[in-house]
């Protein structure tokens, strides 16, 4: 209740089925910081959250005094910020911690604008480079080399398997060629043998024919001789 602060702000969520933002200030603050802060805050929230700006307002009791105690009973200029409505879709604009932080920022910017303050430009410091230690560098190098070795070993294994397969196929082809050569030799030998047998049969046939002629002639002579013999007797 002392006058230590320039401005006091109380943050509320509104209710009653409406939409938008509104900020109350003391009737004693008209034309002063209280009214100015209320106007700037409501305008900033409405702009940042794309909701209706219900404006800066005063509310009085029946005795003519300020209705809200936070405004009525404080010596500094005071405002009561009804950010948005809790019982309508407005609530989804502040339903996470991140969105609530954005609401707080809007209020702060509104107050700063009312007091003529400018936002301080803060240049983010460049984060220190997280250089790996020599041991980490060495370990990373070893891991990379091991990975490369594993890849080369896998490639070598594939090549060896391919080579073994080719050798096996070549051996099989060689064996088949040898088997075919042996069969060709056997067939050639059979052909030669058959040709020899055919020639022998031809010779034998001729001999038999010649022998038949000779025997026939001999029988004819013999018959004649027998006849002559019987005739003489």
**pLDDT attached to residue 78:** 95
> How confident is the model over 57-72, as pLDDT tens digits?
999 999 999 999 999 9
**pLDDT attached to residue 4:** 79
User: Are the C-beta atoms of 69 and 30 separated by less than 8 Å?
Assistant: no
Based on the number of CB atoms within 10 Å of its own CB, is 92 exposed (0-12), middle (13-18) or buried (19 or more)?
exposed
b/e code 165-203 from CB counts within 10 Å (16+ = b): eeeeeeeeeeeeeeeeeeeeeeeeeeeeeeeeeeeeeee
Contacts of 132 (CB under 8 A, 6+ apart): 140
Collapsed DSSP state (helix, strand, coil) of residue 25: strand
pTM over 0.75: no
> How confident is the model over 172-196, as pLDDT tens digits?
888 888 888 788 777 778 778 777 7
More confident residue, 105 or 156: 105
What DSSP assignment string belongs to 120-155?
PP-PPPPPPP-PPPHHHHHHHHHHHHHHHHHHHHHH
Q: Which domains are assigned to the chain?
A: 7-114 (3.40.630.40)
Categorize the per-residue pLDDT at 168 as very low, low, confident or very high, splitting at 50, 70 and 90.
Answer: confident
> How confident is the model over 103-119, as pLDDT tens digits?
999 999 999 999 998 86
Separation between Cα atoms, residue 86 and residue 150, nearest integer Å: 62
* pLDDT mean across residues, the chain: 84
Please compute the mean of the pLDDT values over residues 129-154 and round it to a whole number: 82
More confident residue, 37 or 145: 37
């Amino acid at each position: 209740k002392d006058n230590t602060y320039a401005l006091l702000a109380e943050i509320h969520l509104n209710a009653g089925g409406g939409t938008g933002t509104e900020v109350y200030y003391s009737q004693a603050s008209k034309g002063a910081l209280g009214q100015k802060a209320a106007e700037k805050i409501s305008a900033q929230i409405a702009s940042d959250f794309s909701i209706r700006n219900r404006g800066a307002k005063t509310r009085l009791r029946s005795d003519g005094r300020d209705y809200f105690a936070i405004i009525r009973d404080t010596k500094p200029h005071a405002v009561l910020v009804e950010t948005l409505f809790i019982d309508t879709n407005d609530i989804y604009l502040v339903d996470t911690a991140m969105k609530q932080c954005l609401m707080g920022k809007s209020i702060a910017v509104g107050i700063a604008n009312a007091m003529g303050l400018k936002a301080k430009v803060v240049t983010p410091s460049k984060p220190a480079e997280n250089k790996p230690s020599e041991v980490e560098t060495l370990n990373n190098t070893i891991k990379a080399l091991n990975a490369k070795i594993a890849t080369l070993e896998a490639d070598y294994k594939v090549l060896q398997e391919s080579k073994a397969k080719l050798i096996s196929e070549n051996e099989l082809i060689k064996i088949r060629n040898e088997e075919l050569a042996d069969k060709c030799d056997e067939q050639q030998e059979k052909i030669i043998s058959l040709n020899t047998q055919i020639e022998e049969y031809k010779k034998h046939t001729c001999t038999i024919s010649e022998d038949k002629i000779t025997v026939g002639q001999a029988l004819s002579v013999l018959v004649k001789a027998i006849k002559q013999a019987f005739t003489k007797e």
